[in-house]
């Protein structure tokens, strides 16, 4: 049942009072939760304690467990990702096999996409249609009608499709391998919802960004083969692979990890000018020029992190730290040179962050 405007305002005010120590929140109250940063807190697998934290980037207020407080029920089991489309947020809840759709002004649930198996990442194609990756061995992308919130079609992909990025009339899908291994990007024609090409890149591509010259940077985790006793039978180093997003032609490969470091990075980011790439590796957050001419051997931020994001307005680095999956995590904010500004408590297992 929908809440009245007065009720939502009271909830919004109570959330601010409960979540921060400053006297008054900044910003336009009519905007609600429409502008700011959204942190996905996975929670502990099987416990339905995943959550979303909202951070007002103007006032530096953090509000945890927004969905539960507004809607009066848990969000679900393993909150995988959040994607923004207009005045709506699509919250992918992996182990609950659903996507919660909320109104960003109020954070009220306005619908649920269900009938899913292993949802990972959502991308709005236009006002009528969205894509949602399903990370199974036999990977696929669901085509979602954004009015009915129903699956209208499926598009076959490689194994473990993860992040997607739009480019002109296509969407490029990183096939991360899931619980196995893959080395491809799937190219989808958004006009026909058909696969138009498949490109071989590095092993297990997981995340991707476009730089100022429209070069596609792909974070490839590297190949890992596990023995029956969960020791590693085979491993290759992680890398950044740079492609032409039109032809798929390889432009360069930069090795960023080493065999035996037991770290498989999942996040990549880019600064406001789109000329510096940031990525997670063993030891923290590193960066490289989009020209590929410099990659520091020392991290910009030295910390064992679970995720990060770059504020597209300020270039501040938001680093996410998950000490365990039984206690709250933390968000640290840094200047681009690595100087730490502050730290704020978030939910359990913070892993991804998006800005709007």
- Closest Cα partner for 347 from 78, 59, 120? 78
Q: pLDDT over 90 for what percent of the chain?
A: 78
| 114, 249, 252, 283, 349 from 187: Cα distances, Å | 25, 13, 20, 33, 31
Residues β-bridged to residue 355: 37
Task: Say if residues 142 and 157 touch (Cβ distance below 8 Å).
Answer: no
pLDDT in tens, the chain (356 residues): 333 333 334 344 445 444 443 333 433 457 789 999 999 999 999 999 999 999 999 999 999 999 999 999 999 999 999 999 999 999 999 999 999 999 999 999 999 999 999 999 999 999 999 999 999 889 999 999 999 999 999 999 999 999 999 999 999 999 999 888 999 999 999 999 999 999 999 999 999 999 999 999 999 999 888 888 888 888 888 999 999 999 999 999 999 887 777 677 789 999 999 999 999 998 899 999 998 765 567 899 999 999 999 999 999 999 999 999 999 999 999 999 999 999 999 999 999 999 99
pTM for this prediction: 0.90
CA dihedral of 74, 70, 352, 169, whole degrees rounded to 10: 110
Task: Say if residues 226 and 198 touch (Cβ distance below 8 Å).
Answer: no
Task: Say if residues 33 and 52 touch (Cβ distance below 8 Å).
Answer: no
Task: Say if residues 74 and 56 touch (Cβ distance below 8 Å).
Answer: no
Phi-psi region of 179 (alpha: psi -120 to 50; beta: other; left: phi over 0): alpha
- For the chain, the three-class secondary structure string (H helix, E strand, C coil) is CCCCHHHHHHHHHHHHHHHCCCCCCCCCHHHCCCCCEEEEECCCCCCCCEEEEEEECCCCEEECCHHHHHHCCCCECCEEEEEEECCEEEEEECCCCEEEEEECCCCCEEEEECCCCCEEEEEECCCCEEEEEECCCCCEEEEEECCCCEEEEEEECCCCEEEEEEECCEEEEEECCCCCCCCEEEEEECCCCEEEEEEECCCCEEEEEECCCCCEEEEECCCEEECCCCCEEEECCCEEEEECCCCCCEEEEEECCCCCCCCCCCCEEECCCCCEEEEEECCEEEEEECCCCCECCCCCEECCCCEEEECCCCCCEEEEECCCCCCEEEEEEECCCCCEEEEEEEEECEEEEEEC
In this structure, what token pair is assigned to residue 298? 């020392």
| 91, 93, 95, 99, 108 from 46: Cα distances, Å | 18, 12, 8, 17, 24
């Amino acid at each position: 049942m929908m809440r009245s405007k007065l009720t939502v305002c009271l909830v919004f005010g109570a959330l601010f009072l409960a979540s921060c120590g400053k006297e008054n929140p900044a910003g336009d109250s009519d905007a609600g939760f429409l502008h700011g940063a959204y942190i996905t807190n996975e929670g502990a697998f099987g416990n339905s304690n995943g959550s979303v934290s909202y951070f007002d980037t103007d006032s530096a207020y953090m509000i945890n467990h927004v969905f539960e407080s507004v809607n009066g029920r848990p969000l679900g089991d393993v909150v995988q990702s959040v994607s923004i489309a207009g005045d709506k947020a699509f919250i992918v809840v992996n182990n609950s096999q659903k996507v919660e759709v909320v109104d960003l002004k109020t954070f009220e649930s306005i619908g649920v996409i269900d009938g899913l198996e292993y949802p990972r990442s959502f991308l709005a194609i236009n006002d009528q249609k969205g894509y949602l990756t399903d990370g199974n061995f036999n990977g696929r992308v669901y085509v979602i009608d954004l009015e009915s919130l129903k699956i209208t079609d499926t598009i076959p992909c490689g194994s473990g499709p993860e992040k997607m990025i739009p480019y002109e009339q296509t969407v490029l899908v990183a096939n991360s391998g899931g619980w196995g291994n893959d080395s491809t990007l799937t190219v989808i024609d958004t006009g026909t919802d058909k696969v138009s090409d498949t490109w071989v890149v590095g092993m297990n591509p997981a995340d991707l960004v476009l730089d100022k010259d429209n070069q596609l940077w792909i974070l490839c985790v590297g190949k890992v083969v596990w023995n029956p006793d969960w020791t590693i039978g085979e491993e290759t180093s992680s890398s950044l692979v740079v492609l032409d997003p039109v032809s798929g032609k390889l432009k360069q490969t930069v090795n960023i990890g080493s065999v035996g470091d037991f770290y498989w990075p999942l996040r990549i980011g880019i600064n406001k000018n789109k000329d510096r790439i940031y990525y997670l590796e063993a030891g923290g957050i590193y960066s490289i020029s989009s020209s590929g001419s410099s990659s520091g051997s020392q991290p910009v931020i030295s910390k064992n992190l679970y995720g990060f994001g770059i504020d597209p307005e300020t270039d501040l680095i938001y680093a996410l730290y998950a000490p365990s999956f039984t206690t709250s995590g933390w968000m640290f904010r840094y200047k681009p040179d690595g100087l730490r500004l502050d730290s704020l408590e978030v939910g359990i297992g913070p892993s991804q962050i998006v800005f709007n």
